[in-house]
Structure 1
C-alpha cells in the first residue's frame, strides 16, 4: 500500500494549521490529486511555499480544513453521518434558540424533534408515576461549584493582561531576559575540563541527593589535587546560566485556592479562604516571604536550546522553518494513595518536531507544577504566568539562533491544541462539564436529558418513556441532526453569559449555553478559534471511561438504578464463578502476548480495583473481550461490543485510510443508538447508563477529519511525565517544592543534553545496531543469537526450503545447511523472535513474540517463526524466515464480530513455508481460544499445540494490516 493512500497522523491538523496561518478566507483545501507525492512530502512543500509573513496573523478567526476530493467522507447522500471537513468548521446559519430568546428550555422543542415517534404511555418498569413532581431542577452545582460572575470578571482581567503581554513584564531576571532577546550566536562549547567534569557528575547523580554529589566530589579531590570540581551550588548556577532555563516563582494561597498573579498580584490574603499570603514568622518589614510558592518554567529558553544543536535545529523544520507550534497538556495527580495530595502539572509539546521525536522525554517542556494538597480553585491564576510568557512571544516574537543554518531568526509561537481530561478540560475551556445540559466536550449542540428531580444531564438520544419531564420534552434525536461546534456560536453564547445582569440570569444562561466563563486561551493571539482547539482525549475515553461503563454493566455493579437490580439485567454475565474463571483466563493469556505490550492484562477479577491500567483495559476490552465473551454474552450485546471495539481499534491507529475512517463512523452510528436501545431502553431509571463517554466516542471520527489522528494528542504523555516526576520525589516532608525542583532540573538537563549531545548517555547515533547485528535495509535487521555453525536441515524443513529454492535457484547452497538467527527487528521497532530460542524456556517464563503477520503471494497470513537465516553467497545474501503457517481464519466469525475476532488453527510442521524476512509486517499475539485452565505452564516447552484455535491480538495504536487475498 503506497504512502499516498494514507492519512498521516498529523496530515489533517498540519494542513489545517498551514491554511489557518495563511489567513486565506477563500481557500478550503488542496486536492490530493494535485500532487502524486506522499502526503507528508507534499504537505511540507506546500507549507514552505506559502509560509506567511509575521504581520498576517493578528486578526484570524476561521479555520479551513483541507478537502480531499477522492475521499468518500465528503458524501452524505448515502445517509452516513460523517460530516465533511468543511462542515466541521465552517460557520453556519444561526439556529440556536439563544439567538431569539435568552433562556431557551431546550435545543429540541417538544413535537419538533428529528427522530422516531414513540407512545406517550406504556411506561417501562420503574418509569415515573403520575402525580410525581416533575419540576425542572437546576443543573448540579457540583460540576462547577465556584464559578461565579466574579470569576468571569477575574478571567476577563487575565485575558486583557495576556493581550498586552511583554517579555519585560514576564518575571524573568535581566540576565535571562537579555539571553532570551539576544541569544548567543554560536554552538555551546565548554572548554574548561573541570566544568565539563562537574556537569557530567551532576547529571550522573541526577536521581541522587546533594550528599551523593558532594561525596563523589570529595573523593575526586582526595585522589587528584589538581582537579577542581565545582560545588553543588555552583554547578547548578552554571547549568542555569548555560541553558537560560530558570524558574519564575510567585506566591500562592496555602490552600491552593489561587496564585497571586495578574490583577490579584497585590493582594495580601486569599479572597476565598482569607488565609494570609505571607508568613508572619519569616517576613520582615523590608522583605515579605510567602507561605507557599508556585514555580513556572517558561518555554522560551527551552525552545531556544532546541535550535542551538545542528541536528535538533534540522528536526525543528518538520512543520515550519520560522514558526513554533506548541501543544498544551495539563492533568492532575494524587502523589500519595492514603492522604490528600493533589498536584497538577502542565507541559508544552513542540509539534515542530516529527512524531518520532516530539514525545521523547528530552523534548518535553515542563511548564509548571501546581502544588496541593487541595484542588486549585482558580486554575487560570496558575496558568497565567506561563501563558503571559507565551503571549509575549506571540506578540514580540522569539529570537533563536539556528545552528543548522548559522543564522538568527525571529520565530512566532502558535498554540494549536489544549489537552486535558474531562474535568480539567471543562475548567480550561470554561464550559459546564459533562453533567451540564450542554455538556459535550467539543461543544456540539446536543441537549441532554435528566431523571425526574435529578440535576445531572445525560446525552441520551432516545426520549424517555413516561410523563414528560420539563427540559426533556424533545423527541428522539437523529445523529445526522447534531451539528458540530461552531466558533461563531461559541462567541455569541459567551457574550450572553458574560453580559448576565444577575446571578439568576447567569445560571439560566449557563444551562442554556453550556458556558460558565471565558477560557484563558482567549488571551492568546495565535490559536485556533475556540472551542475548536480542544481535542477528545482517547486515553481517558477508551482506557478508563468506557471500560468502567462496560465492566459495570457486564458485572452488574453499575450504580444509579433505584428500581431494579443491575445484577438481574441480561448483560450482567460476569458474576460468581464465571467471573472468577474469566479472570484466570485473562491472566493466563499474558504469556502469549509479546513483551512490547507494556502492560498485559492481569487477572481482572482480582486486580480490577487495584490500579488496573488504561493499557490493560484497552487490551482486555477491545482485543480479548470480543473473543472471550462471545459464548457468555448475549449475541446483541456481544455484537454491540464488537462494533465499538472495531471502531476504537481503527481510531487508535497512527495512520488511517479514508475507508477505515468511514467504516468506524458507520459502526459508531449504529452502535450508539443500539447501545441506548439495549441498555437504557428509554427507562428513566437507567438513563445514567448513557454516559458522556458514548457520545464523545461518536464524535471521534469527525474530530479526526478536523484535526488529524488523535492518538498523537492524548493524555498518555502527561500521565507518563507525572509518573516519572512523582517517582523522583526525594523529600516527603515537602513533596511539592521537591517536585517543582525536580521538574526544573529535568528541563535544564534536557536543554543541556540537546546542546551538548555527548552528555546524553541514552542517545544513540542514527542507524545504531547492537553488536553482531546485520542491517538488511528498509528498517529490517537481523539480531543475535547466532548459531555457532551451519547445520543440516531435517526432512520437514528441507521440503520447505526446496520449494523456495525452486523459485530462487541462485540462493541454493552446495549443501542443504543453514545457520540460524534468533531475532528480527522490523520497521515498526518490534522484535520478532523465533521458536529456536523461545522453546528453550517454559511458557511460564515467557512472553511469546514469535508469531508474525506476513504478506505472501498477495495474501496476508499469520505464522510462527521457527528461525531466520541468510541464503546466498557473500555480498548477495538474502534473509529468509522459516514459518509454520496458521490455518485460514474463521471468516463467518470474523464478519459476525466486525473483524474483531480472527481465529486461526495452529498446524505445526504440517504447513512449513520459507518466506522473505522483509515480508514480515508485524509481531502479533496468538491467544488460545480453548484454554486449558489445568495446564501447567512451568513444564510446557511447546507453547503452541497443533489443532488448537488461537485468536490474533495486535497492540493498540499500530496500523491495521489489511487482510489481502
Structure 2
C-alpha cells in the first residue's frame, strides 16, 4: 500500500539530512518548468511548485493559536476534573449526530433539575479547518496559483467578493495525528509500525529501504491516503470527492476502525490543486487524475488500437494480420514486464515536457503514457516513496464493478461485434434469453439458504457476492468448461498463495486473451484495462475503508438541502470527535468489556448468554450422546449449554445450525481408555456434523473454488474443542 511520512511537530521546520538519496532526489523542478510549453503542463507546474514551497509560516494554512498548538503540542496526558465539563462532553458525544437544539434542551433540563450545576456548551477546537473561497459553481478553490484570480479559471464566473459565495474546508492532518499521542495507551498503539518493523524485517524490503535510507526515522508517522468520488443522493446532483487518512502507525485491527479513519471532502472538481492535499490511494478514475498516467504503475506495456479508432487497449498478444505503426510489436511476455521506477518516470516526464506544440505533445503522450504531471511531485522527496512507487492498484472496483461488468457483457452477448466478427461464433455467449431469466430466479431463490445477501447498501459487494460467491456453483454446466475453468482460475488465489498471485494472474490474463480475444483485431475491446490491472494486484492493492467511510458520512447528513457544506461539517466533526477520544480515551465507547454474563475462554474466544442455569443430562441412545461418548471414551456427563460463541475474528456462532470451519477434528481411534481411574476436567466443546470430502472432479475443474459436499446430518456428529472453530461460513 502507498506510504508517505509526516514529520512530528518538533521536526517540521528542521532541515534533515539523509544517509542515502530519495528516489525523487534527482527531480529538478526548475528544469521541468523551463521545458513546459503546453498551457496545461505549465499550470500543473505552478501547483507543484506551490506545494513544494509550502511552509508553516507562509500564512496560507493554520494561523494563530492553531499553529501554535501544532508547533508546541502538550507533553502530558489530558484530564477532566470538573464534573460539569465531564457531563457536557459525555452528553455531546452521546448526541453527536443530533441537532444543537437537542443538546441545548437537555442542557436546560439538567440545569432545572440541578440549579447549582453550570453545564457549559461544548466547542471542540482541537482540530480546526482551513477555510478558503471557492467558485460558486464549485469548479475550483481559490488557493495556490488561483489565489489572486478575480474570476473562476474554469467557468469564468466572477467570484472575488467581500463575502464568499462558497467556501472550501480543508482539515489539516497534523493536529489529528498529534492527538493520537496524548494518551499513554494511544501512544503505545501508535508504535505498532515500529514494533512490527523489527519483527518482520526480511518481509518488508521496500519499506526497510526507506527506513535504512533515513526517509522514515523513528519518530515519523506513516500515513496512507485514499481518495474516491461519491454521489450522496441518487435523485439529485450530489457528486463530490472524499478522501481519508489511514494511520499506518496503528495495528490493522485498529487502523481501519471508524474512530481512527480521518476524513475530508471536496466538491471542487479540481481538488488536487489545493496546496495541502497529499494523495496516495484512490479508485480507477481518481487514480488516473492522481498519477496522470495510463497505467498507474508506469509499466512498459504498450497498447494496441483498432484501425482508425482512437482508443488503446492493454493487449498482450498481437492480432493476426496487424500492422498499425506503434502497435504492431510482438506478443508481450507478461512474466518479464518491467516495473516502473522513479528514474524511468522522470525520463519519460522530461520527454513529455519538451514538447514544443500540441502535435508533439500528443506524440510524446502516446509514447510515454503520461497525460499530465502528478501533483505528488510537489512533495519533498524525503517524504514520499517515489513516483510511481507510491501508487497502488484498486481492488474493490476491479472485482466488484469492472470485472463483473466485463464477464456479464461477454456471457450476456452485450459486447459490440466488429465487421469481421460474428456473434454466432461466440461459444461463451450463453446467458441470454430464458437462460438469463432462469439464472436470475435461481439467484433469488438462494438468498434464504446462504448468509450473503444480494440487496445491500454497497453495489460492489452485491456483484462480488453474485459473481464470486454464487458463481462457481451456478455457472458450472451453464458456461462451457474452458471458459468456466478460466473464470474460476481468476479468483482461486487464497491468502496462503499470495506470493504466487502475480504468476497466477499473469497465466489467467494470457489464457483470457486466447479464449475470448483470439488474436482478432475486432475483439481488441474485449481486453479492458481491468484485465491488465490484474497483474498489479499481487504487488499493491487498496482496501474497502474508503467505501465504508463514504457510506458512514452519507448516512450522517441530516440536511439534504445543502449536502456539500453539510458533508464538510460532518467531516470536521468526525475529526474533532476522533481527536477528543484519542486525547481523552475515557469518553470512547470501549468494545473491550465483556457483555453481562459472558465467559472468556482465552485466545479471544467468548461464550455469550444465554446458558443453562443448571447442568443437564443428555438422553442416552441418541446421536449426540454417542458423539460425546466417543469423544470422552465414557458415558456423557452432565453439562451446560451456551447460546452463542464469539470467535477471535468477531463472528458469533449461535446454537442454531451454522456452517463453520474447524482446524482439525478429534479422531476417536487416538483415545486412550487404559487408565486406572477417570480423570475429570472441564472442557469447552461444540458438537458439529461433518460434511463429506469435496467432489474431486468439481474441485479440480473449478481450481478448488467449488466445494460440493454431502451433508450427513446426525450420522456424522463429532465433538470438537471450541477453539478449533476458525470462522462462521
Shorter-chain TM-score category?
A: 0.7 to 0.9
For the structure 1 residues 523 and 858, does the alpha-carbon distance in structure 2 shift closer, same or farther, using more than 3 Å as the test? farther
8 Å Cα contact 1:798-1:816 kept in structure 2: no
**Structure 1 residue 802 corresponds to structure 2 residue 629:** yes
Aligned-pair CA distance for 1:467? 5.1
SS in 2 for 1:571: coil
8 Å Cα contact 1:832-1:852 kept in structure 2: no
- For normalisation by structure 1, the TM-score amounts to 0.66
**Cα distance between partner residues in 2 of 1:799 and 1:560:** 64
Q: Deviations over 1:59-89 (max 9, x none)?
A: 41289xxxxxxxxxxxxxxxxxxxxxxxxxx
Say which of 273, 276, 291 aligns to 1:385.
276
Match of 2:204? none
The answer to which of 487-496 and 162-171 deviates more is 162-171
**Structure 1 residue 634 corresponds to structure 2 residue 634:** no
**Cα distance between partner residues in 2 of 1:565 and 1:611:** 39
Match of 2:412? 555
Structure 1 stretches lacking a partner, 5+ long: 1-9, 22-52, 64-90, 92-146, 388-416, 432-438, 603-609, 705-709, 807-811, 839-848, 860-870, 925-965
For the structure 1 residues 732 and 881, does the alpha-carbon distance in structure 2 shift closer, same or farther, using more than 3 Å as the test? closer
SS in 2 for 1:250: strand
**Structure 1 residue 353 corresponds to structure 2 residue 181:** no
Say which of 318, 322, 333 aligns to 2:219.
322
Aligned-pair CA distance for 1:256? 2.8
Match of 2:171? 297
The answer to which of 618-627 and 510-519 deviates more is 618-627
**Structure 1 residue 223 corresponds to structure 2 residue 113:** yes
Match of 2:606? 781
SS in 2 for 1:791: coil
SS in 1 for 2:276: helix
SS in 1 for 2:663: strand
Aligned-pair CA distance for 1:191? 2.6
**Structure 1 residue 256 corresponds to structure 2 residue 109:** no
List aligned pairs for 1:572-611, cutoff 5 A.
572-594=429-451, 597=452, 600-602=453-455
**Structure 1 residue 897 corresponds to structure 2 residue 702:** yes
Match of 2:201? none
Structure 2 stretches lacking a partner, 5+ long: 8-14, 27-35, 195-217, 669-677
**Structure 1 residue 422 corresponds to structure 2 residue 259:** no
Match of 2:199? none
For the structure 1 residues 62 and 265, does the alpha-carbon distance in structure 2 shift closer, same or farther, using more than 3 Å as the test? closer
**Structure 1 residue 829 corresponds to structure 2 residue 650:** yes
**Structure 1 residue 916 corresponds to structure 2 residue 725:** no
List aligned pairs for 1:33-432, cutoff 5 A.
54-56=16-18, 59-61=21-23, 149-169=38-58, 170-231=60-121, 235-236=122-123, 239-240=124-125, 243=126, 245-278=127-160, 283=161, 288-320=162-194, 321-366=218-263, 368-371=264-267, 376=269, 378-382=270-274, 384-387=275-278, 418-431=280-293
For the structure 1 residues 267 and 559, does the alpha-carbon distance in structure 2 shift closer, same or farther, using more than 3 Å as the test? same
8 Å Cα contact 1:500-1:506 kept in structure 2: yes
List aligned pairs for 1:652-671, cutoff 5 A.
653=495, 657=496, 660-671=497-508
**Cα distance between partner residues in 2 of 1:371 and 1:560:** 39
**Structure 1 residue 518 corresponds to structure 2 residue 518:** no
**Cα distance between partner residues in 1 of 2:314 and 2:667:** 45
Q: Deviations over 1:685-705 (max 9, x none)?
A: 22111001111102222x15x
Say which of 374, 377, 391 aligns to 1:534.
391
**Cα distance between partner residues in 2 of 1:560 and 1:312:** 59
Q: Deviations over 1:273-294 (max 9, x none)?
A: 211123xxxx4xxxx1222111
**Cα distance between partner residues in 1 of 2:298 and 2:568:** 34
**Cα distance between partner residues in 1 of 2:141 and 2:41:** 16
For the structure 1 residues 566 and 532, does the alpha-carbon distance in structure 2 shift closer, same or farther, using more than 3 Å as the test? farther
**Structure 1 residue 737 corresponds to structure 2 residue 585:** no
For the structure 1 residues 59 and 290, does the alpha-carbon distance in structure 2 shift closer, same or farther, using more than 3 Å as the test? farther
Q: Deviations over 1:911-962 (max 9, x none)?
A: 22112222222222xxxxxxxxxxxxxxxxxxxxxxxxxxxxxxxxxxxxxx
**Cα distance between partner residues in 2 of 1:256 and 1:58:** 43
For the structure 1 residues 524 and 273, does the alpha-carbon distance in structure 2 shift closer, same or farther, using more than 3 Å as the test? same
Q: Deviations over 1:725-753 (max 9, x none)?
A: 12222222222111111110111011111
**Cα distance between partner residues in 1 of 2:114 and 2:20:** 60
Say which of 318, 338, 343 aligns to 1:488.
343
8 Å Cα contact 1:319-1:352 kept in structure 2: yes
**Structure 1 residue 792 corresponds to structure 2 residue 618:** yes
For the structure 1 residues 753 and 585, does the alpha-carbon distance in structure 2 shift closer, same or farther, using more than 3 Å as the test? same
Aligned-pair CA distance for 1:664? 3.1
CA RMSD of aligned residues (A): 2.8
8 Å Cα contact 1:305-1:755 kept in structure 2: yes
For the structure 1 residues 857 and 611, does the alpha-carbon distance in structure 2 shift closer, same or farther, using more than 3 Å as the test? closer
List aligned pairs for 1:920-939, cutoff 5 A.
920-924=725-729
8 Å Cα contact 2:37-2:356 kept in structure 1: no
For the structure 1 residues 218 and 662, does the alpha-carbon distance in structure 2 shift closer, same or farther, using more than 3 Å as the test? closer
SS in 1 for 2:461: helix
8 Å Cα contact 2:139-2:152 kept in structure 1: yes
